[in-house]
């Protein structure tokens, strides 16, 4: 009884560990990839939120500071355009960063494998 239980259970444990190790590359490109992608989108949307880029674009023709005379409107459009351009650049920077990370995630395993091979040959 004892030995039988021990055997089945011991097998189960080692099976679990083997499964963990074998399953993990698959995980990297399936559930892991999706998870990482989601995290990046959250990161980008937070950056967007703090830059309020969409708010600026939406309000491009609305005068700033309640200045509804024509001079105010003119200056406002110009100012908003400037703001949108600057903020877009910042946003672009973050998008690129995110893209780089995403690419790294994808190519990291084959690249690491390649590097290990490279060390030997």
Partner 1 sequence: MVMPDKKSNQFIVCPVCEGIGRNKYGISCANCGGMGSGKFYKGRFFYWGLNLSRVIIELSHLRKKIHQILNIIVYVIGLAGLLALAAWVYSVSNSADPEAFAFWREKNDLILIFWISVFADMFVIYRISEEERSQQKIMPLTYEEKNRNIALPDSWEEIRKLPGWRRIDVSKGLDVNASEAVERAFVLADRLGHKVDPLHVFIVILSDNQVAALFSRLNADGEKLAGRVKQQLERIDAVEGRTIFSGIAKEAFINSYTEALDLGQKKVMAKNFIISSMEKNDILREILYDIEIDRDKIMNVLTWFMVNEGLIASHRAYRASAAYKPGSNMDRAYTSIATPALNQIGYDLTVAAKWGRLEYCVARSEEIESIFQNFESGARGVILIGELGVGKSTIVDGVAQLMVKEDVPKIFADKRLMEVDTARLISGATPAQAEGRLMAIIDEVTRAGNIILFIDNIENLIGITSGNEESLDLSEVLAGAIERGNIYCLASATAANYTKFIEGKSLGGILKKIEIKEPVGNQAIQIVESKIGLIEGRYKVYFSYNAIEEVIKLSSRYIHDKYLPAKAIEILELVAVRVAKNKGPESLITKDDAAQIVGEITNIPVAKLTETESKNLLSLEERIHEQMIDQTTAVKMVAASLRRARAELREGKRPIANFLFLGPTGVGKTELAKTVANVYFGNEKCMIRLDMSEYQHPDSIKKMIGDAAAGITGYLTEAVRRSPFSLVLLDELEKAHPDILNVFLQVMDDGRLTDGQGRTVDFTSSIIIATSNVGAVYIQDEIFRGTSVEEIKRTLINEHLNKVLRPELINRFDGVIVFEPLSMENVVAIARLMINKIAKLLESKGIGLKVEDEGLRVLAKLGFDPKFGARPLRRLLQERVEDKIANKILSGELKRRDAVIIDRAGEVLTEKAKAI
Per-residue x/- track, 56-95, partner 1 (CB under 8 A) = x-xx--xxxxx-----------------------------
Q: How near is the Cβ of 95 to partner 1 at its closest, in Å?
A: 19
| Calpha distance 89→44 (Å, rounded) | 14
Nearer to partner 1, 24 or 93 (CB): 24
Please report whether residue 37 would count as binding partner 1 according to CB under 8 A: no
CB-CB contact of 53 with 88 (8 Å): yes
Q: Give the distance, in angstroms, between the CA of residue 1 and the centroid of all CA atoms in the same chain.
A: 52
CA angle 20, 118, 32 (to 5 degrees): 30
Helix residue spans in 30-120 (DSSP H): 31-51, 53-58, 70-120
Please report whether residue 102 would count as binding partner 1 according to CB under 8 A: no
| Calpha distance 105→118 (Å, rounded) | 20
Q: Which of 27, 29, 37, 78 binds partner 1 (CB under 8 A)?
A: 27
Radius of gyration of the chain measured on its C-alpha atoms = 27
Q: Which of 21, 69, 89, 110 binds partner 1 (CB under 8 A)?
A: 21
Which residues bind to partner 1, rule: CB under 8 A? 1-2, 5-6, 9-10, 13, 16-17, 20-21, 24, 27-28, 32, 35, 46, 49-50, 52, 55-56, 58-59, 62-66, 108-109, 112, 115-116, 118-119
């Amino acid at each position: 009884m004892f030995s039988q239980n021990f055997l089945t259970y011991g097998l189960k444990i080692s099976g679990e560990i083997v499964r963990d190790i074998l399953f993990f590359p698959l995980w990297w490109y399936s559930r892991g990839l999706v998870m990482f992608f989601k995290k990046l989108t959250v990161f980008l949307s937070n950056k967007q939120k703090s830059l309020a880029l969409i708010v600026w674009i939406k309000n491009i023709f609305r005068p700033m500071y309640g200045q509804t005379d024509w001079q105010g409107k003119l200056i406002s459009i110009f100012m908003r355009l400037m703001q949108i351009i600057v903020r877009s650049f910042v946003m672009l920077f973050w998008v690129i960063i995110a893209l780089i990370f995403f690419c790294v995630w994808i190519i990291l395993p084959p690249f690491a494998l390649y590097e290990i091979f490279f060390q030997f040959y």
